[in-house]
């Protein structure tokens, strides 16, 4: 499924992550998945939220540099080699993965993927599903 991912540029400064998460929480917006990549000076928080457009508004009002990006969310079996099989299908169609993050929950792994070719990625996933 294609969904909107919230991306936030955040300075590595004590309290910034608290301010971000508290702002979303006070607005009643839940983060169901997130990834935080950082360097010594800044980080990029990527999150799947319950209300992405509203989350963007809330954070921009707090002067965070934020944007929305289309990503693919999928469920895969939580077993050895399952992700490799999916990635192999993407490679065969020359679909490059810009980044991804995932977590497992029982028998399923939930994966967020930012492919370079969104439409083709979805076509591959539909073929795998059928």
- Residue 35's nearest CA partner among 49, 24, 51 is 49
Asked if 41 and 76 sit in the same domain, the reply is: no
Q: What is the pLDDT of residue 13?
A: 83
Considering only residues 62 and 130, tell me which one the structure prediction assigns the higher pLDDT: 62
Q: Residues 4, 97, 67, 24: is their CA dihedral positive or negative?
A: positive
- Residue 128, pLDDT > 90, answer no
pTM: 0.86
Asked if 33 and 43 sit in the same domain, the reply is: yes
Asked if 61 and 83 sit in the same domain, the reply is: no
Last residue of a domain, one of 22, 51, 70: 70
Q: What percent of the chain has pLDDT over 70?
A: 98
Total domains present in the chain:
2
Q: What is the pLDDT of residues 74-126, one digit of tens each?
A: 999 999 999 999 999 999 999 999 999 998 889 999 999 999 999 999 999 99
Asked if 36 and 47 sit in the same domain, the reply is: yes
Structure tokens at 57: 């508004």
Asked if 56 and 78 sit in the same domain, the reply is: no
Last residue of a domain, one of 28, 44, 70: 70
**CA separation for the pair 10, 8 (Å, rounded):** 6
Rg of the chain over all Cα atoms, to the nearest angstrom: 16
Asked if 47 and 99 sit in the same domain, the reply is: no
Asked if 66 and 123 sit in the same domain, the reply is: no
Q: What is the pLDDT of residues 18-49, one digit of tens each?
A: 999 999 999 999 999 999 988 778 899 999 99
Mean pLDDT computed over every residue of the chain: 93
Q: Residues 49, 43, 76, 87: is their CA dihedral positive or negative?
A: positive
Asked if 9 and 64 sit in the same domain, the reply is: yes
* End-to-end CA gap in the chain: 15
Asked if 80 and 64 sit in the same domain, the reply is: no
- Residue 3, pLDDT > 70, answer yes
Range of the domain at 26: 2-70
Q: What is the pLDDT of residue 130?
A: 58
Asked if 66 and 78 sit in the same domain, the reply is: no
Asked if 60 and 91 sit in the same domain, the reply is: no
CATH code assigned at 15: 3.30.2130.10
């Amino acid at each position: 499924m294609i969904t909107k991912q919230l991306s936030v540029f955040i300075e590595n400064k004590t309290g910034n992550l608290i301010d971000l998460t508290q702002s979303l929480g006070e607005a009643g917006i839940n983060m169901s998945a997130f990834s935080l990549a950082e360097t010594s000076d800044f980080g990029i928080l990527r999150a799947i939220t319950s209300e992405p457009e509203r989350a963007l508004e809330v954070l921009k009002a707090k002067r965070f540099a934020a944007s929305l990006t289309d990503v693919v969310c999928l469920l895969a079996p939580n077993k050895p080699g399952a992700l490799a099989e999916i990635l192999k299908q993407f490679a065969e169609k020359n679909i490059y993965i810009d980044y991804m993050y995932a977590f497992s929950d029982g028998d399923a792994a939930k994966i967020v993927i930012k492919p370079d070719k969104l439409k083709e990625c979805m076509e591959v996933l539909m073929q795998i599903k059928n």
